[in-house]
Structure 1
């Protein structure tokens, strides 16, 4: 059980205990009495990933509208209150999500996963996480030792180069790579595309794909990287794809599939779609806003 799973389990146990303690408490006042507030907190909290959207408002004036809002976004809508403060369950879920986001940024991708995926590791000039957060530029250049290792181990001028980076969420890599990576490889095989030697970049920013492009000169490069975690998910991954990336590549020349996680774009589906996008890039010799999908 990883740290995020442990946090979720602990919050679930606390919420169950709170529910058992409040079963005998009288019903809440009606919504017509706006000065009144609930005396108990037995309303369930919505889980944006695992559960159907629900709200905590006892008697919403427009129930259908509330359901439509909840169905359209994982944002915290209709959380209700107890007195002048949010429900305890709401605060626990919020603090859990905040802790998971911090953990995602400061944790590291496990060596076991990288070994399982057969990925060797190189580092950028990021030095440490504090510097990485303050100096994004240091995460865009591979360290000299890493450059030498890439040249030693990787195929030069590959058709497709796959790179994995922790970015701002190691948790995203841990949660999605086992599904995304095989799906992407299968898609490349379906389209008859050859792949170079995949590897992992520790302390990597999106711009590191430009430096790697200068080193290996692939036709197309796909970077699987952890997104900046929010309070809905700390497991979100992005796939940045670029045709012949090089120093000075502008952001509009990158094609991105974002929000890859079990509550967003399913990882297996994302991997298959990447194969289609990379195939079109090679056909059109373009990426970003120049690519016609």
Structure 2
């Protein structure tokens, strides 16, 4: 190709491009646009990674958002402000957890010394405290075990007593039919007549009643102390025996059957939530069918937390001596003594 022709075409193209560039420039000079300040934080949409910029915040030149301190110097740290050098949970002293202390008045503290009852135990909101509730459940379970438990054969062998039964067939019937626990079975009547001494001065009987635990825990000490006390007083003792599932009024039928002058009945008490091992001793002068409750006497609360068993047995001997002396018991004995 002709070099002269190429040079002419190139010059024409350059001139034409220069004219278009001049036409594109506006006649009026525009005000320069200030470059926006760099944003503090940029948020990105995870879907399209589009940056959403937060609006610019005008801050004073000396007012910084976060102050960083050098570990070597804490001169700018204000008093009462937590240190940023280490976590705040390490600055506080570590203390072991303690339950809320009971604020008990002096009067309640004094009452607690004289009773095992649940007084001043406090509450957690509207409910008992956990410790109190667990102790209640434990005592209730012990009471149930006492009612449904049985006296062991080993204890009866140690006391050298034989066993008879009432007309009750099981524990459920014993609880729901007290009348059946007040009468001996026919076989038991025949056994008592065959083995027991007739017309004794004092006839001692024992029964689990409503607490087998009470008999297991107390009857041996009470019985041995009572025996010794009566022998020291030269009072004759009949043939002692044990009654399974007996009631208090059963002593009337036994008094009728053996014609005993005094009957001493050691029986397990209805268990409570303070003690499931409490035993009672009922004493009556010439108990017979038709004897009223006013003629009976009772020494109750015999257990390690109440009347000590040995002390109760010794005291029973003096009560029996008084009954034989006045030939009365219960209300009649009180009247004759006065």
**What TM-score do the two structures reach when normalised by structure 1?**
0.80
Distance of 1:126 and 1:103 partners within structure 2: 19
* CA apart distance, 1:94: 0.5
Structure 1 alignment gaps of length 5 or more:
1-22, 29-37, 39-56
Kindly indicate whether residue 103 of structure 2 is the aligned counterpart of residue 59 of structure 1. yes
Counterpart position of 1:13: none
Larger relative contact order (Cα-Cα within 8 Å, sequence gap ≥ 6): 1
The 5 Å alignment of 1:88-127 reads 88-127=130-169
Residues 173-218 of structure 1: CA distance to partner in whole angstroms, max 9, x if unpaired? Answer: 0000121111000110111101000000001000110010111011
Shift of 1:261: 0.5
Give 1 or 2 for the bigger CA radius of gyration.
Answer: 2
Name whichever of 74-83 and 223-232 sits farther off: 74-83
- In 1, the alpha carbon distance for the partners of 2:264 and 2:313 equals 11
**Aligned pair 1:217/2:259, yes or no?**
yes
In structure 2, what is the equivalent of residue 281 of structure 1? 323
The structure 2 residue matched to 1:205, chosen from 247, 250, 258, is 247
Give the match's secondary structure for 1:109: coil
RMSD: 1.3
Separation (CA, whole Å) in 2 of partners of 1:58 and 1:245: 52
- Structure 2: tracts of 5 or more residues without a match: 1-94
Matches within 5 A, 1:52-91: 58-60=102-104, 62-63=105-106, 65-91=107-133
Q: Deviations 1:88-145 (Å, cap 9, x if unpaired)?
A: 2111111010000000000111111011101100000011111110010000001110
Cα distance in structure 1, aligned partners of 2:223 and 2:320: 14
Give the equivalent residue in structure 2 for 1:187: 229
- What is the DSSP-based 3-state SS (H/G/I as helix, E as strand, rest coil) of the residue aligned with 2:128? coil
1:24 paired residue number:
96
Q: Matched residue of 1:291: which SS?
A: helix
Off by >3 Å, runs of 4+ in structure 1 = none
Normalising to structure 2: TM-score of the pair? 0.69
